Chains A and B, each alone.
Chain A
Amino acid sequence: MAWVQAITLLRFYFRDNDNTTTYCEAKYAASVDLDSLLSLLPSWTSIIAPLTNAVCVERTMTAQYKETATPAPAIGSNVKSSAVFYFSNAAGEISTARIPSIKPAYIESSGPYAGIALVTGDPTIGAFTDMLIFGDRVVNPCDQHGNDLETYLSGMVEIF
């Protein structure tokens, strides 16, 4: 088992006058430097644009990683049962993070929130939530709007 880098995708999303959007894509081998590819986005846009009547409205670079050999998932695992972690953020709002198929060991087994709330004070949960709040000393995560995560409030189980 090992994590390896796979193909990197450069995608250019074009929109037509019906407001429909789809993309043109270039793929690169894992060995190609990501910084160089990111700086290539404007050049690709300039090369594709003269060929189309649609307009480029977004472009992305997706670096893909995959596990070379995955073990069998645990019996009873269910990705529709997620742990939802609630954080306060720098904008004074609530942000969330989810982990699919939370292990039963991290769900309260007694009390009024049995089967609903995540256990409190657990060090494994704490390591995850601290990483989201404090980062890895280089990168500090945020929510999807760019707001810094400040305090872990609670965690609940949600089934979709």
Chain B
Amino acid sequence: MAFAARPVVSVVFTFRDNDGAQASMDISLPGATTPANAVAFAASILPLITPLTDAIPVGYNVIFGQVENLIPAIPESDVEDKGFFLFNTANGGRSSVTVPGFKNTLLLIDNQDIDLADADVSAFVDAFTLGLSALQPSNSSGSDITGVREAYKQNRRSHLTGRRRKG
């Protein structure tokens, strides 16, 4: 098992027209492109795109990916059985994180609440509340995550990919 960089870094621009419809265009950069260079490229090509379109650019993403190039046999699991963690944030808000395919062995005796005293769970929670390598996660508005509020297992629908039908 080893993760390898995707062959390309993707720059995805999103445009909106006067009907409110949105569409995106993407530009690929070599996989070894650094974040700084990819971001600089996105900023420098955008002014060359906007004169050509009468839609409005509303945002862009620069996406770096790494893929597992040797996926092992996957044990019986269900990614919709999720560990749900609700965190408090410094601005008084909330932020939720889910772990797909959460292990039953990490639940308390009620078979629902997550055992926050477990060492692996604790390491996960600490990575959010205390930071990982001195980098502090936040919520969607950029406010630091400060503590865990509740954590339980729940079956939640996903935006599914890769489901195959047969017959």
Give residues 65-80 of B contacting A (CB, 8 Å): 65-68, 71-72, 74-80
Please determine whether A70 and B121 come into contact, CB atoms closer than 8 angstroms.
no
Q: Which chain B residues lie closer than 8 Å to A57 at the CB level? A: 67-68, 71
Distance in angstroms from B31 CB to nearest chain A CB is: 7
Task: Using known A-B contacts A16-B74, A23-B100, A99-B25, determine if residue A66 contacts B138 with beta carbons closer than 8 Å.
Answer: no
- Indicate if B127 sits at the interface (CB-CB under 8 A): yes
Interface of B is mostly: mixed
Q: CA of A23 to CA of B106 in the docked complex: distance in angstroms?
A: 19
Q: Which chain B residues lie closer than 8 Å to A61 at the CB level? A: 35, 63-65
Q: Could you tell me how many residues of chain B have their Cβ less than 8 Å away from some Cβ of chain A? A: 97
- Indicate if A60 sits at the interface (CB-CB under 8 A): yes
Please determine whether A38 and B35 come into contact, CB atoms closer than 8 angstroms.
yes
How would residues 52 to 96 of chain A score, 1 for a CB under 8 Å from any chain B CB and 0 otherwise?
A: 111111111111111100111111111110110000000000000
Please determine whether B77 and A54 come into contact, CB atoms closer than 8 angstroms.
yes
- Indicate if B21 sits at the interface (CB-CB under 8 A): yes
Query: Whose C-beta in chain B lies nearest to the C-beta of A58?
Result: B67
Please determine whether B72 and A55 come into contact, CB atoms closer than 8 angstroms.
yes
Please determine whether A17 and B65 come into contact, CB atoms closer than 8 angstroms.
no
- Indicate if B86 sits at the interface (CB-CB under 8 A): no
Task: Using known A-B contacts A20-B158, A63-B61, A136-B41, determine if residue A75 contacts B77 with beta carbons closer than 8 Å.
Answer: no
Q: Could you say which of B21, B25, B37 contacts A139, with CB atoms under 8 Å apart?
A: B37
Please determine whether A77 and B64 come into contact, CB atoms closer than 8 angstroms.
no
Q: Which chain A residues lie closer than 8 Å to B150 at the CB level? A: none
Q: Could you say which of A17, A20, A78 contacts B17, with CB atoms under 8 Å apart?
A: A78
A-B CB pair tally, cutoff 8 Å:
300
Give residues 13-69 of A contacting B (CB, 8 Å): 14-32, 34-38, 40-45, 47-48, 50-67
- Indicate if B152 sits at the interface (CB-CB under 8 A): no
Give residues 132-160 of A contacting B (CB, 8 Å): 132, 135-136, 138-146
Distance in angstroms from B143 CB to nearest chain A CB is: 8
- Indicate if B43 sits at the interface (CB-CB under 8 A): yes
Interface residues of A (CB under 8 A from B): 3, 6-7, 14-32, 34-38, 40-45, 47-48, 50-67, 70-80, 82-83, 97-103, 106, 124-125, 127-128, 131-132, 135-136, 138-146
Interface residues of B (CB under 8 A from A): 3, 7-8, 10, 15-19, 21-31, 33-46, 48-49, 51-68, 71-72, 74-80, 83, 95, 97-103, 106, 120-121, 123-124, 127-128, 132-133, 135-140, 142-144, 158-164
The 8 listed contacts between A and B (C-beta, < 8 Å) are A29-B136, A35-B34, A65-B60, A65-B61, A97-B25, A102-B52, A138-B41, A144-B28
